[in-house]
Structure 1
Amino acid sequence: MGHLGIAGLQLDLGRGDNLDRIAAEVAATKRRLPWVDLVMLGELSAFGPGVASAQSLPGPAEARFVEVARENKVWLIPGSLYERVGDQLFNTAPVIAPDGTVVARCRKLYPFLPYEQGVAAGEVPTVFDMPGVGRIGVSICYDMWFPETTRSLACLGAEVVLHPSMTSTIDREAEKAIARASAAQNQLWFVDINVAGELGVGGSCAYGPGGEIVHEAGVGREVIALDLDLGHVRRTRERGWNGLGQTLKSFRDGPAPFAPYQPGGRSVPALTGLGALRTPPAREAEQ
């Protein structure tokens, strides 16, 4: 009870249909590591970042992932894909149980604006329960840059946060620092799986509830198998990591009202004076 066997697949994927490759990698992982309960991939692994591949959910790509989960008797978070809902698009990560049930769909709360244009923001933090294990939270890539997202998952009872990413830019080291801080601040396991190859720089990472480094991956294809003890989270939250800070208790008991979270708290000069959220223009256009 309270252990999660997880395999994060940092795959060297390209643009286009990656469904067959993903199915083969999940099956190979489960054959090699039968103790793994859950397999997860990086953000937008199915087709890459193009919104032209958007589908309704349920839809054909999700149906294929349902089949993969059922055939391998494994929980599956196949990264994410673009979900079409009427005239809106969401960046959505399905959570699929071993019997093929889609137990949750996590919509990215913070699309990577101004670059992830045309993608709507989700509104609800996503958690789900794994019988005999515990409560798991899901967030996607840019979400973790906003500490409120992981704190919200912790307050909903998440003891593990699973975080698909697709990062191909020079800020990957900053993301690893954020992931590690998120784990320590919220006293939980934080597992961030990036893509590699054409679409990402790798560097997937996993950190424990005291901010301890569990694993930091290289830049290429890697299967990251972890046995996470959720009892360690519970003890850390109760006693503090190595008997130190009991962070969530202090957050619960603290009196600070935090002005930015009060009505109108974001309509202040320090924020309104920042200007529009847009792609930086060429230098000539600035003049």
Structure 2
Amino acid sequence: MQELQINIIPGSSLEAERNETGKVLHYYNTTYYIDRQGDIKLRYRKVNLWGPEKQAVSAGHEHIVIDTEEFGKIGLLICWDLAFPEAFRELVKLGARYIFIPTLWRSPDCGEKGLAYNKQSEHIFINSTIATRAFEQNACIVFCNTGGPDADVYFGCSQITLPFKGPIVKFNGKEQVVVTEVELGSILEDAEEVWNLREELASPNWYPAKQ
């Protein structure tokens, strides 16, 4: 932001949409890309809502990518969006190279039934799904989850994950700050040469195939 001369994607917050008289029409779970001058360059309203969230929050309606001078094209998602490959596809079709996902995801979220099967259920969900998204979407996935004093609840799994490499940094449990330099180089281009994912997405005959 302006004082610190940093770009920032904060965790999501509740955003009210009001009419001309100030009456609240909708609440959205929203995150932002804020540049070094303190300007909001991208606002994303969460499209895929977690079950209980639907009782209080409206779903957003679109996925947007911003083309930054420093990093190229980036897109934003929030938390439970991770479970929907379609959300990632929309961003990749718009050219996103980085996809950032601020998150509040806890071990008990799988419920008593899930915990009865495996207390590490959500850890497995997060780690396997992020790796899959990075490979299947040919993108750099930056996932930032809540840490806290109770590692059995606030398990983290924050990570930066790339195709071919998998996670290049990952940490769990307690709150911490990690400074990492990400140099994509030609990795996304090399992955595209191998798998042609972005070319396929851009094709007018993209799945389901037109007859």
TM-score of the superposition, structure 1-length normalised? 0.60
Alpha-carbon shift at residue 238 of structure 1 (Å): 4.1
Cα offsets for 1:184-219 (capped at 9, x unmatched):
011110010001116732111221023522122121
Corresponding letter in the other structure for 1:128: I
**% identity of equivalent residues:** 25
Residue in structure 1 matched with residue 68 of structure 2 by the alignment: 130
Residue in structure 1 matched with residue 21 of structure 2 by the alignment: none
Alpha-carbon shift at residue 162 of structure 1 (Å): 0.7
Greater RCO, CA 8 A, separation 6+: 1
Cα offsets for 1:97-132 (capped at 9, x unmatched):
111111111111111113552111111113222213
Aligned with 2:47: secondary structure?
A: coil
Residue in structure 2 matched with residue 159 of structure 1 by the alignment: 97
Q: Gaps spanning 5+ residues in structure 2: where?
A: 18-23, 108-120
Cα offsets for 1:6-54 (capped at 9, x unmatched):
xxxxxxxxxxxxxxxxxxxxxxxxxxxxxxxxxxxxxxxxxxxxxxxxx
User: Are 2:161 and 1:207 aligned?
Assistant: yes
Question: In angstroms, what is the RMSD of aligned CA positions?
Answer: 2.1
Corresponding letter in the other structure for 1:213: P
User: Are 2:128 and 1:174 aligned?
Assistant: no
User: Are 2:14 and 1:82 aligned?
Assistant: yes
Residue in structure 2 matched with residue 97 of structure 1 by the alignment: 35
Residue in structure 1 matched with residue 148 of structure 2 by the alignment: 197
Corresponding letter in the other structure for 1:221: E
Give yes or no for contact 2:192–2:198 (8 Å, CA) kept in 1.
no
Corresponding letter in the other structure for 2:125: A
Corresponding letter in the other structure for 1:84: A
Give yes or no for contact 1:192–1:204 (8 Å, CA) kept in 2.
yes
Residue in structure 2 matched with residue 149 of structure 1 by the alignment: 87
Residue in structure 2 matched with residue 49 of structure 1 by the alignment: none
Matches within 5 A, 1:1-287: 69-85=1-17, 86-169=24-107, 170-197=121-148, 200-210=154-164, 212-240=166-194, 245-253=195-203, 255=205, 257-258=207-208
Corresponding letter in the other structure for 2:175: R
Report the number of matched residues: 187
**Partners of 1:117 and 1:95 in 2: how far apart?**
27
Corresponding letter in the other structure for 2:196: Q
**Partners of 2:207 and 2:72 in 1: how far apart?**
31
Q: Gaps spanning 5+ residues in structure 1: where?
A: 1-68, 260-287
**Partners of 1:156 and 1:163 in 2: how far apart?**
17
**Partners of 1:251 and 1:157 in 2: how far apart?**
10
Corresponding letter in the other structure for 2:199: K
Which one has a bigger Cα radius of gyration?
A: 1
Corresponding letter in the other structure for 2:131: R
Aligned with 1:125: secondary structure?
A: coil
Corresponding letter in the other structure for 2:87: T
Residue in structure 1 matched with residue 114 of structure 2 by the alignment: none
**Partners of 1:102 and 1:111 in 2: how far apart?**
23
**Partners of 1:101 and 1:252 in 2: how far apart?**
31
Give yes or no for contact 1:159–1:230 (8 Å, CA) kept in 2.
no
